[in-house]
Homo-oligomer: A and B are copies of this chain.
């Protein structure tokens, strides 16, 4: 089963990367960019076929390793099927 995990910074947490990208887009002449936030996108391929079990395992992976829950939120998406 394939899963996609989005890890994003919590609201209010400083995002120096996003800020730098915002500045760079401006310098490249893109106007009208109001804000940029950068996160992570992690694709995981699991042997597990049961959706619920897969979700539970992914959730634990996020909490234990993939996301830093002090400053980040995460969202798990499982492949259709």
Chain A positions within 8 Å of B, measured between CB atoms, are 6-8, 18, 21, 24-25, 28, 30-48, 57, 60-61, 64-66
> Is the CB–CB distance between A42 and B65 below 8 Å?
no
Residues of B within 8 A of A38 (CB): 40-43
Copies of this chain per assembly: 2
Of the residues B8, B21, B61, contact of A30 by C-beta under 8 Å: B61
CB–CB B64/A47 < 8 A = no
- Determine if B21 and A47 form an interchain contact, defined as CB atoms under 8 angstroms apart: no
Contact call A30/B43, Cβ cutoff below 8 A: no
A39: which of B35, B40, B47, B48 is its contact (CB, 8 Å)? B40
Instruction: Report the Cα distance A30→B46, complex, angstroms.
Output: 10
